[in-house]
Structure 1
Amino acid sequence: MWDWFSAEWFSLAKLRAFSWAHPYFLYGILVIPIAFWLRQAFHAGAFQRLGITFVNSDTPKSISVWLRLLYPISGFLALSCLLIALARPQSVNILTERDAEVIDIMLALDISESMRDKDLPPSRLTSAKAVAKSFIAGRLQDRIGLVIFAGEAFTLCPLTNDYELLYGFLDEVNHKQISIAGTAVGSALAVCINRLRESASKSKVVVLLSDGESTAGNLDPITAAKLAKAFGVRVYAVAIGRAVPKQAVAVSDSLILSSSETAPDEGTLQQIAKATNGRFYRATDNTALKNIFSQIDNLERVKVKNRRYQEVKDFYRVYLDWTLAFFLLMMFLKVIFIANVLED
């Protein structure tokens, strides 16, 4: 109730912090002294005054001068507070809400032995991890999960929007996490589908990164792709590594055998992407891999609507209370005898 009774309301810092709905009323404060001066000038000889001599000559003259100013000062402050109240001091807090449809994305990362090849330096797996982290950093509020696979597949991180947690899991990914050899593309896709099938999101995506032919797992990749389509999951398949020309295979098997690099199985990945209305990409170097993730990022980008709210709090009542207080003080000084005496 007495929150208004503080000199802080008249501090320069407080007044500067306000937003003013009608700031032009503040200019009226400059007019008040002029109005007081004009009143004094036009009515200086209009009143009869009673000459009184104070008996106590020890009373300092300065005290009587200051007491004489109480009445006009209280009037000035009352009018100033009224003008401040009319100017509507406010505190405005702008709130921004982002309205975006969340996309659920599962990253399926091949960690088989062939991902140690260095045609994408320093290695296929290391490059894939680095680009995946950049991809995650560019998302907004989307839930992202991580599945790793080799001869079998399992979820390393479920769907989450805690991207720092995802970065930690990606940093720990290595070839030793799955001891079973092979590349279980179908199983990896099935694990991703299992994580996405109960998602309420309208957009469900799997980004599948692999460099080898599906040689393990209990589920055929094409069958898994059909399941993905049935659950509304779109697959972006990325073949990592340089493809070996078919001519080289036909002419000399020794050429392939002498190479330490494993050619990606593009045929299976292409069929998976086509069956799920997704897209197939080939990453033959680090630059291509970054471009691929940029394209996927743009394809799976929802429109974000920013809604801005203004939370407005008025403080004119504080200055109306001060107006009333100074007005009552002025009336009190007007009716008491000493106010009339001090007019002389």
Structure 2
Amino acid sequence: MRSASITLPTYDRALNYTGQKPRKSALVKRRNFFEWLVLMLSWALLLAALSSPQLVGKPEMKVKTSRNFLIAADISFSMAQNDWVIDGQKARRWDAVKEVMHEFIEKRKGDRMGLIFFGTNAYVQAPFTPDLQTVAQMLDEADVGMAGQMTHLGKAIAKGVAMFEKDTIETKVMLLLTDGIDSGDDVLPLDAADLAAKDSILIYTIGIGDPGKSGSDLDEGTLQDIADMTNGQYFLAKDESRLAEIYDEVDKLEPIEYEEMENRPVTLLYYYPLGAALGLLIFSAFVGSIVQLIRKASRKEGAYV
């Protein structure tokens, strides 16, 4: 379609300056279907990139600590008695206790665990920590006699109460293991248990050994009283298999109830449509330049002919 041209006051001056001759009409090249298709697709891809598409993955649950769980284990000389069995072979009580305790610690993911070993005195082997591998390592490093040869239950409970007082988590559970009778006179077991009850510390007591056999010093009455005073429970472990069952029972009594922190991994996808749009435009420009070169070459050939 032809139309009148726009009159410019400097038109003649521009012709003189450039040296070009005016033509009767100029042809404005219209875009073909391929060019319109490229433009429309590029525009759609740019809009898709601006919408910021995302790929949301499955929610991941992270464990948040909910309680302090303290293990207070007796490592007095009596724990060296070779009257337990591991894999069909005679073993020390302490070695059997450690083997089963490792499995128990691995199951307590979600708790901050601590270790106290006691004999004549009570020592903090591992402060409260969610790093259960460190707790297991500290357990491996302990051996019979490191805390003395006697059994002072009162000191062990009092040390545990002091550990709980320094922490802010409200749920407090103590697991007390011993195979002997309290031989201390400075801190009585029941007095220490009363302090634990006032601080809302729940104590599960585990007696190691068979009180019916000769040579056993296990004081079941005191362990039962400690558990009753703190709303806990007393268990008797005569062998390794029974100790493993007790740990399973404690797991049921104190199930892992942690708060779940939901994390949804998000992957941004905007660069895919953006890259496709840029690639499409570059490809279109490349094809257009090739077509123009072909046309110019064909025109030159026609002119020579």
Q: TM-score range with shorter-chain normalisation?
A: 0.7 to 0.9
Structure 1 residue 92 displacement after superposition: 5.7
Structure 1 residue 192 displacement after superposition: 0.9
Within the candidate set 277, 290, 296, 1:320 is matched to: 277
Alignment pair present for 1:310 and 2:265: yes
Alignment RMSD (CA, Å) = 3.3
1:140 equivalent in structure 2: 109
Alignment pair present for 1:154 and 2:109: no
Alignment pair present for 1:278 and 2:242: no
Alignment pair present for 1:292 and 2:246: yes
Structure 1 residue 134 displacement after superposition: 1.0
Q: Contact 1:147–1:188 at 8 Å: present in 2 too? A: yes
Q: Contact 1:111–1:175 at 8 Å: present in 2 too? A: yes
Alignment pair present for 1:232 and 2:200: yes
TM-score of the aligned structures, taking structure 2 as reference length? 0.73
Q: How far does the alpha carbon of each residue in 1:5-54 deviate from its partner, in whole angstroms, 9 at most, with x for none?
A: xxxxxxxxxxxxxxxxxxxxxxxxxxxxxxxxxxxxxxxxxxxxxxxxxx
Within the candidate set 186, 189, 195, 2:154 is matched to: 186
Structure 1 residue 160 displacement after superposition: 1.9
Identify the range of structure 1 (139-148 vs 294-303) with the bigger mean alpha-carbon deviation.
294-303
Structure 1 residue 263 displacement after superposition: 3.6
Identify the range of structure 1 (292-301 vs 279-288) with the bigger mean alpha-carbon deviation.
292-301
Q: How far apart, CA to CA, are the structure 2 residues paired with 1:217 and 1:103? A: 32
1:220 equivalent in structure 2: 188
Q: Which has the larger share of helix?
A: 1
Q: How far does the alpha carbon of each residue in 1:107-152 deviate from its partner, in whole angstroms, 9 at most, with x for none?
A: 1111112212233231221111111111111121321111111122
Q: Contact 2:108–2:256 at 8 Å: present in 1 too? A: no
Count how many residue pairs are aligned between Structure 1 and Structure 2: 258
Q: How far apart, CA to CA, are the structure 1 residues paired with 2:287 and 2:36? A: 6
Alignment pair present for 1:113 and 2:77: yes
> What 5-or-longer segments of structure 2 have no aligned partner?
1-31, 86-90
Structure 1 residue 229 displacement after superposition: 1.4
2:21 equivalent in structure 1: none
Alignment-mate amino acid for residue 152 of structure 1 = N
Between the aligned residues of both structures, percent identity stands at 27
Matching of residues 1-344 of structure 1 within 5 Å? 96-121=60-85, 122-179=91-148, 181-216=149-184, 218-244=186-212, 259=214, 261-304=215-258, 305=260, 307-314=262-269, 315=271, 316-332=273-289, 336=292, 338-339=294-295
> What 5-or-longer segments of structure 1 have no aligned partner?
1-70, 245-255
Q: How far apart, CA to CA, are the structure 2 residues paired with 1:333 and 1:140? A: 66
Structure 1 residue 295 displacement after superposition: 1.3
Q: How far does the alpha carbon of each residue in 1:205-245 deviate from its partner, in whole angstroms, 9 at most, with x for none?
A: 1100011111115211111111111112110100111012x
